Amino acid sequence: MDKTILVVGGAGYIGSHMVKMLLAKGCQVVVLDNLSNGYRNAVVGGDFVFCDLADKANLAHIFQAYQFDGVMHFASFIQVGESVQNPTIYYQNNVANTLNLLDTMVKYEVKNFIFSSTAAIFGEPQAVPLDETHPKNPINPYGLSKLMVEQILRDYEAAYDLRSICLRYFNAAGADPEGQLGERHVPETHLIPLVLQAASQRREHITIFGQDYDTPDGTCIRDYIHINDLCQAHWLALQQLWDGSRSTAFNLGNGEGFSVREVIDVAKKVTGKDIPIIEGQRRDGDPARLVADASLAKNTLNWKPQFADLETIITHAWTWEQQHGIKW
């Protein structure tokens, strides 16, 4: 596969797993990251370029140095609460900086773009599971920033023939099955690594935010998708663009939801550890259920998740936590 791919944010959680997969597919990979949320040692190969998307001159230099066949963009701020408290950095990084990247692509005639979007563009679910036609009413600046980029991409296809596929994640989870890569955010906000940190005693307890939701056990239900399955969808989407597809968007999830208590119970089974629980109050903006209808991605991309089982997802994450978690 003689293709050169630019992975923006390739030192982060999803980006680093994507880089590993692209290298295994035989692609030449260039990683662009400012290491604000990523780790240099998470980049397992390819060419690494330290760069911020706000640096237009450096961006131009990178596009002059390489002939890219596609760009994958993972370099976003993702914390919902932070976006409410400090929206300026979300609109600057997630929207304005993405415009810098897109304008550079237009200038150097790079036509294929894969965008890391989110289920947060939908806001409060009106029906579950959520398919691509669900109304889009984000309730926080994070979700709105992603929806803005989706609209920008539609306009850029019409004006500049820059074709894109937006992939709307539900809950990315798990770790590299080979144990080389895993999830490490500072601060960590995702449920599964928080639960496993409590199991390994790196964290004193796990807090369940709300026990009175309209769900079987009263806790929130979410759709967890294995990081490798997520990356496989990106690869298939990029191939679809190479095959001449027009711009589109897909929801990515397993189509099955698990409650917070179910995640904790499976983690106890996988780890064999006690996991201390504290019951907290509901958080603003937490819907009771968020589950994807990913049938469009499965049918259009011929995408078949390989690690849909929650126990497998948690097992891979636990392997990473045991091997690497204590070191960083």
Token pair in block for residue 152: 């920008």
What average pLDDT does the segment 272-294 reach? 91
Q: Which of 146, 183, 251, 149 is nearest to 15 (CA)?
A: 183
Which residues are marked as active site? 142
The yes-or-no verdict on residue 325 having pLDDT over 70 is: no
Is the same domain home to 236 and 209? Answer: no
Q: Which of 41, 39, 37, 17 is nearest to 29 (CA)?
A: 17
Higher pLDDT, 255 or 327: 255
CATH number of domain containing 295: 3.90.25.10
Evaluate whether residue 135 is within a structural domain: yes
What average pLDDT does the segment 39-58 reach? 97
DSSP state of 293: -
68-77, 102-111, 133-142, 185-194: the lowest-pLDDT one: 185-194
The yes-or-no verdict on residue 161 having pLDDT over 80 is: yes
Which sign does the torsion angle of CA 321, 176, 69, 302 carry?
Answer: negative
Is the same domain home to 169 and 316? Answer: no
The yes-or-no verdict on residue 105 having pLDDT over 50 is: yes
Evaluate whether residue 106 is within a structural domain: yes
Residue bearing tokens 């770790």: 175
SS3 category, 118: strand
Is the same domain home to 9 and 153? Answer: yes
- pTM equals 0.95
Contact criterion met (CB below 8 Å) for 262 and 310: yes
Could you tell me the maximum CA-CA distance found in the chain, to the nearest angstrom?
56
Is the same domain home to 169 and 234? Answer: yes
Give the chain's length: 328
Contact criterion met (CB below 8 Å) for 268 and 274: yes
Evaluate whether residue 264 is within a structural domain: yes
Q: What is the pLDDT of residue 326?
A: 56
Is the same domain home to 22 and 130? Answer: yes
Evaluate whether residue 180 is within a structural domain: no
Is the same domain home to 25 and 152? Answer: yes
Is the same domain home to 259 and 163? Answer: no
Q: What is the pLDDT of residue 43?
A: 98
Tell me how many domains the chain contains. 2
Which sign does the torsion angle of CA 150, 237, 248, 309 carry?
Answer: negative
As a whole number, the mean pLDDT across the chain is 95
Which of these three, 237, 252, 267, is where a domain ends? 252
Which of these three, 252, 267, 292, is where a domain ends? 252
Is the same domain home to 153 and 26? Answer: yes
> What pLDDT digit, counting tens, does each position of 4-29 carry?
999 999 999 999 999 999 999 999 99
Is the same domain home to 158 and 216? Answer: no
67-76, 275-284, 308-317: the lowest-pLDDT one: 275-284
Is the same domain home to 48 and 146? Answer: yes
Is the same domain home to 210 and 248? Answer: no
Is the same domain home to 246 and 123? Answer: yes
Range of the domain at 128: 4-173+226-252
> What pLDDT digit, counting tens, does each position of 180-237 carry?
999 988 888 899 999 999 999 999 999 999 999 999 999 999 999 999 999 999 999 9
Residue 89: φ, ψ to 5°: -70, -25
The yes-or-no verdict on residue 328 having pLDDT over 60 is: no
